[in-house]
């Protein structure tokens, strides 16, 4: 019988096995020496704290050492967050009910925090909004988010539903009606991940924007939940790269539709940039934020803010070198 390893040792064993598998495949695909790749990856780990996903999918292996020094790696991103994002204030972003309340000028949708309302108020909310989105207060990467449509669930016990949702600790929000140009043949509200930096004077700058488009029947657009991502040019609001998903599939056409994404114009782009800057300056204690922004016909809607946005969205698609860019701007 195979001996069980302590969890930390087993975790590293699995990671090492994965690393060797990925490096062997890269060597075969690119006709490279496996010995050279192993040695180069070891240097990338020790000098830059580069993870295997970034080394392979982020094409870190192709870079010269001066270029590697400009790139965000997971470790460098964590250090930036620790230095510039005050942990005493991240609850305004982490807790969804606090986010909606604090950024009320940017949240136009109707919503309730189930734990703070009576059963009668909960039922009244459902009568006002036949279709609603249920979100765990402390959920991450789109986990646990689902749609509930009252007219399709007439036989459900609403009192029991109310009590179950209280135990789950959730928000219930009306469904956002997004701009027609933000619909890509799926069930999700498709958002722009807009990254802002506050400089030393407290002025906000947008440094990168990513369109996140859901795929299939998913009600979320998250990259980690199978969505496709595309960089958006900050000046023009035009999609300027191919699309990429978590499994590294790449395409200029949105999966499941015939929409050509390269050059696709994002509506209300000037409002997206203006409102994200304005929101960032409301919370100066958090200097690096990734905003998820929905776009409606006449305005934009903040969905959430992230104090630790995914570094892959900075370095795996389109423009790169954000470790150098952020350090120069934020200091």
The predicted model gives 36-48 an average pLDDT of 96
Extract the tokens encoding 264. Answer: 């696709």
Distance CA 52, CA 130 (A): 45
How do beta strands 131-136 and 146-149 pair?
A: antiparallel
Residue 259 — pLDDT band, cuts 50, 70, 90? confident
Lowest-pLDDT choice from 103-107, 143-147, 175-179, 324-328: 143-147
Sign of the alpha-carbon dihedral angle for 103, 109, 113, 118: positive
Q: What pLDDT score was predicted for residue 7?
A: 66
pLDDT at 305 over 80: yes
So what's the architecture of 110-174 in CATH?
A: 2-Layer Sandwich (3.30)
- Classify burial at 144, counting beta carbons within 10 Å of its beta carbon; exposed 0-12, middle 13-18, buried 19 or more: middle
3-class DSSP assignment, residue 215:
coil
Q: What pLDDT score was predicted for residue 1?
A: 40
Alpha helices in the chain, H assignment, sequence order: 7-30, 34-48, 52-56, 65-68, 74-84, 91-94, 96-102, 119-128, 158-168, 269-280, 312-315, 322-330
Q: Quick one: DSSP state of residue 60?
A: G
Q: What pLDDT score was predicted for residue 2?
A: 47
Residue predicted with more confidence, 294 or 216: 294
Extract the tokens encoding 88. Answer: 């005493």
Question: Do you know the residue count of the chain?
Answer: 331
Distance CA 127, CA 151 (A): 10
Q: What pLDDT score was predicted for residue 221?
A: 46
Distance CA 184, CA 147 (A): 18
CA nearest neighbour of 22 among 9, 11, 38: 38
Distance CA 194, CA 174 (A): 23
Q: What pLDDT score was predicted for residue 323?
A: 96
Q: What pLDDT score was predicted for residue 243?
A: 87
pLDDT at 217 over 60: no
- Classify burial at 170, counting beta carbons within 10 Å of its beta carbon; exposed 0-12, middle 13-18, buried 19 or more: buried
Mind listing the pLDDT tens digit for each residue in 155-203? Answer: 889 999 999 999 999 999 999 999 999 988 667 789 999 999 999 999 9
Query: Averaging pLDDT over each range in 75-79, 223-227, 253-257, which range is the top one?
Result: 75-79
The predicted model gives 295-317 an average pLDDT of 93
CA nearest neighbour of 324 among 78, 80, 59, 57: 80
pLDDT at 5 over 70: no
CA-based radius of gyration for the chain: 22
CB atoms within 10 A of CB 32: 14
- CATH superfamily, region 80-105+178-330: ATP-grasp fold, B domain (3.30.470.20)
Q: What share of the chain is helix, strand, coil (3-state, %, to 5)?
A: 40, 20, 40
pLDDT at 244 over 90: no
Sorted by sequence, the CB contacts under 8 Å of residue 11 that are 6+ apart come out as none
Sign of the alpha-carbon dihedral angle for 115, 116, 118, 121: negative
């Amino acid at each position: 019988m195979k001996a069980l390893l302590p969890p930390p040792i087993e975790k590293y064993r699995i990671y090492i096995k994965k690393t060797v598998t990925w490096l062997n495949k890269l060597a075969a695909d690119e006709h490279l020496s496996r010995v050279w790749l192993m040695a180069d990856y070891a240097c990338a780990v020790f000098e830059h704290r580069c993870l295997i996903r970034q080394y392979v999918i982020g094409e870190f292996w192709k870079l010269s050492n001066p270029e590697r020094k400009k790139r965000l790696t997971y470790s460098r991103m964590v250090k930036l967050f620790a230095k510039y994002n005050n942990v005493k204030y991240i609850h305004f972003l982490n807790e969804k009910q606090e986010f909606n309340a604090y950024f009320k000028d940017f949240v136009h949708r109707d919503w309730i925090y189930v734990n703070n309302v009576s059963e009668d108020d909960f039922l009244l909310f459902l009568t006002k909004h036949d279709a609603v989105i249920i979100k765990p207060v402390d959920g991450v990467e789109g986990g646990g988010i689902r749609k509930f449509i009252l007219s399709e669930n007439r036989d459900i016990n609403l009192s029991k539903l109310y009590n179950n949702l209280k135990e789950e600790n959730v928000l219930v929000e009306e469904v956002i009606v997004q701009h027609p140009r933000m619909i890509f043949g799926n069930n999700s509200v498709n958002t722009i991940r807009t990254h802002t930096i506050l400089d030393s004077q407290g002025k906000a700058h947008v440094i990168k924007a990513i369109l996140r488009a859901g795929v299939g029947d998913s009600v979320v657009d998250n990259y980690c939940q199978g969505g496709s991502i595309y960089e958006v040019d900050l000046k023009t609001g035009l999609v300027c790269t191919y699309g990429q998903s978590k499994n590294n599939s790449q395409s200029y056409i949105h999966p499941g539709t015939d929409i050509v994404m390269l050059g696709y114009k994002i509506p209300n782009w000037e409002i997206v940039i203006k409102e994200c800057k304005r929101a960032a300056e409301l919370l100066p204690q958090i200097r690096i934020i990734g905003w998820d922004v929905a776009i409606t016909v006449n305005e934009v809607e903040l969905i959430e803010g992230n104090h630790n946005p995914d570094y892959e969205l900075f370095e795996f698609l389109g423009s790169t070198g954000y470790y150098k860019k952020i350090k120069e701007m934020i200091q």
